[in-house]
Amino acid sequence: MNILITGGSSGFGREMAIVLAQSGHNVFAAMRCMSGKNRASAETLLELSANLEGQIIPIDMDVTSDASVDEGVSLVLSQLVGSLDVVINNAGTYIGGLNESIDSSQVAQTFDVNVLGVVRVMRAVLPTLRQQKNGTIINVTSSVSKLVLPLSGVYTASKAALETLTESYAYELAPLGIETLILQPGSFNTGIMNKSPGPDDIERSMGYSQTLNQTDQMVQRYMNLVKNSYFNNTPKLVADSVANLLEQPYGKRPFRTLVDPSELGEQVSGLNSKIEQSQLQFLQSVDCENLMTIERA
């Protein structure tokens, strides 16, 4: 298969590119600043590709730029032998802190990457997928879109928005033969938090001492629940889950794949099941329970 992955320089994206190329797929690993700060990442992936059954082709793409996304996707399409089979919207950014201390420009930047970045890629690839009348889109969200934490409100909101948007895309695209899926990882040490900028307006944190005392306890207890997963499971576990997902028959793959081996994973799974059951009941009430059935060409 021909696969495009955004955010391919590190974390989940890098591991997905390697695992999928090991399985014989041709992977276009999109990343920004390929000739700058991510040059070493691109070169490493090329070196690894030489010994894999498939191949990894690094592509320069900044998901916050319409022009960059359009140029990157055009380059991918020009190099394809066959169809564009899978698009994985993995690029993401994180910001933590009290909501009031994160100014509007930082909120906008987070949504620009985590939500609008996906929209840009979808708009760039969908004309081709619609013409093909097939293709799989996998949007990477997060288990915290279901279990909300303090001090991560902006990130959580962006991932919750992406979950909802992906569900809407799934309804719209299934009748055209296009499969739209959600990959929902738990807490893994991908390095994303190390790259996180701090809040711009620290002064706004003054007066929050009582809140911080309570939220710090909650965050610490949360970390105690996920620490074994966070430190003992690598992002490769998520990449392996994607490879296994793509081995399943097209049109029969589960809409949402949760990859969370922590103690919270079972709780998130339960929430997912309740939401999916409620959604199914709604669709049945309007006589549209087959709306997400993939129409084959």
Residues 125, 156, 31, 247, CA torsion sign: negative
Residue 181 near residue 254 (C-beta atoms within 8 A): yes
Any bridge partners for residue 86, and if so which?
Answer: 3, 136
Report yes or no: 10 and 239 within 8 Å, Cβ to Cβ.
no
Contacts of 283 (CB under 8 A, 6+ apart): 289, 291
- Distance from C-alpha of 125 to C-alpha of 72, rounded to nearest angstrom: 10
d(CA 241, CA 185): 10
Residue of 13, 91, 118, 117 whose CA lies nearest to 56: 13
Strand ranges in the chain using DSSP code E only, listed in sequence order: 2-5, 26-31, 55-60, 86-89, 136-140, 179-185, 256-259
Cα–Cα dist 208/228, whole Å: 30
What residues are annotated to the active site?
A: 155
Given the DSSP bridges, would you call strands 256-259 and 86-89 parallel, antiparallel or unpaired? unpaired
Degrees, nearest 5: CA angle 246-238-27 = 55
180: nearest Cα among 191, 166, 193: 166
Which of 57, 66, 68 is CA-nearest to residue 32? 68
